[in-house]
Amino acid sequence: MTNRGALLLAVFILVAIGVDVMIYGSEHLVFLGKKFTDLLEYMAFWR
C-alpha cells in the first residue's frame, strides 16, 4: 500500500468515526470496535 492510499484510508476511517459520533453518540464505538476485531479475525483466517 502506498503512502497516499494509507493516508486516504486513515482519513476515511476518521471521518466515518466522526460522523458516527455526531449522529449516534460515542456509545456505538464499543460495538464498532468489537465488530472490527471480528473482521480482523475473519480476514486473518483467509490470509
Q: At what angle do helices 3-24 and 28-46 cross, to 10 degrees?
A: 140
Tell me what pLDDT residue 47 has: 67
The three-state secondary structure class of 26 is coil
The predicted pLDDT at position 35 comes to 92
At position 38, the amino acid (one-letter code) is D
pLDDT of residue 39: 92
Cα angle, residue 25 at apex, residues 17 and 35 outer, rounded to 5°: 55
Residue 39 identity (one-letter amino acid): L
Total-model pTM: 0.60
pLDDT tens for the chain, residues 1 to 47:
789 999 999 999 999 889 988 988 878 888 888 998 999 999 887 76
Cα dihedral: 16, 29, 44, 2 (round 10): 30
